[in-house]
């Protein structure tokens, strides 16, 4: 049983490393794609945007394709440490390209400088950080919102006590039990 707990702990550490790789690739891709677009708009770099029959292909399209390929690869590929790290980097790259133009695909407007893209990048980065490093916060929140009320209901002795407890749980503004 001790070997199982050790293996479980190693998997948690490896998962955190994978999420850190996704976060790093995500932030680097977002930063680099923004920098490249700024430099193209400022005429420092040549315009190498892809256009097909006069239609500009935005880089969120590349991100969606990368996310699809990575998902398919993870479904069919072997899950070795090397493959998972490879997939994590590509997944972060796809997320970065996709969420860099989040505002465009949410609003369906050709406006690259929209604020929702920045907001989405911050939200995705915070979610990844929370998953990777603040698991106790998630666990405490889950226990407070779900497990604790359930345990209290099970401990109530009779039907009337359970009914009163349920009433207090459903209307917490009147009764402070948590």
Q: What is the predicted pLDDT for the residue at 4? A: 46
Whether residue 33 is predicted with pLDDT greater than 80 in this model: the reply is yes
Per-residue pLDDT tens over the stretch 101-138? 887 777 777 776 777 777 888 888 888 877 777 766 66
> What does each C-alpha distance from 59 to 39, 51, 106, 165, 171 come to in angstroms?
16, 11, 15, 53, 48
Q: Let me know: does 65 contact 24? Beta carbons within 8 Å.
A: no
Q: Let me know: does 121 contact 52? Beta carbons within 8 Å.
A: no
Q: Where are the domains of the chain?
A: 2-133, 138-170
- Helix (H) / strand (E) element for 27: namely helix 2-41
Cβ within 8 Å of residue 56, ≥6 positions away? 49, 50, 110
The helix/strand/coil state of 132 is: helix
Could you give phi then psi for residue 46, rounded to 5 degrees? -70, 155
Range list of H helices, 42-80: 59-76
Q: Return the CA Rg of the chain.
A: 23
Please provide the average confidence, as pLDDT, over all residues in the chain: 76
Per-residue pLDDT tens over the stretch 132-170? 777 666 666 666 666 656 565 555 556 666 666 666 666
Q: What is the predicted pLDDT for the residue at 130? A: 77
Rounded distance between C-alpha atoms, residue 163 and residue 172, angstroms? 14
- pTM beyond cutoff 0.75: no
């Amino acid at each position: 049983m001790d070997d199982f707990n050790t293996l479980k702990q190693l998997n948690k550490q490896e998962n955190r490393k994978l999420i850190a790789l996704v976060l790093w690739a995500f932030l680097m891709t977002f930063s680099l794609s923004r920098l490249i677009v700024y430099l193209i708009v400022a005429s420092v770099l040549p315009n190498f945007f892809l256009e097909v029959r006069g239609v500009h292909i935005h880089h969120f399209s590349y991100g969606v394709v990368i996310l699809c390929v990575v998902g398919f690869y993870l479904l069919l590929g072997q899950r070795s440490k090397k493959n998972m790290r490879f997939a994590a980097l590509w997944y972060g790259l796809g997320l970065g390209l996709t969420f860099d133009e989040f505002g465009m695909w949410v609003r369906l407007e050709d406006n690259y400088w929209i604020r929702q893209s920045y907001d989405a990048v911050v939200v995705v980065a915070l979610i990844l950080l929370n998953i990777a490093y603040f698991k106790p916060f998630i666990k405490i929140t889950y226990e407070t919102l779900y497990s604790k009320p359930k345990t209290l209901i099970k401990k109530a002795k009779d039907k009337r006590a359970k009914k009163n407890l349920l009433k207090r749980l459903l209307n917490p503004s009147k009764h402070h039990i948590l």
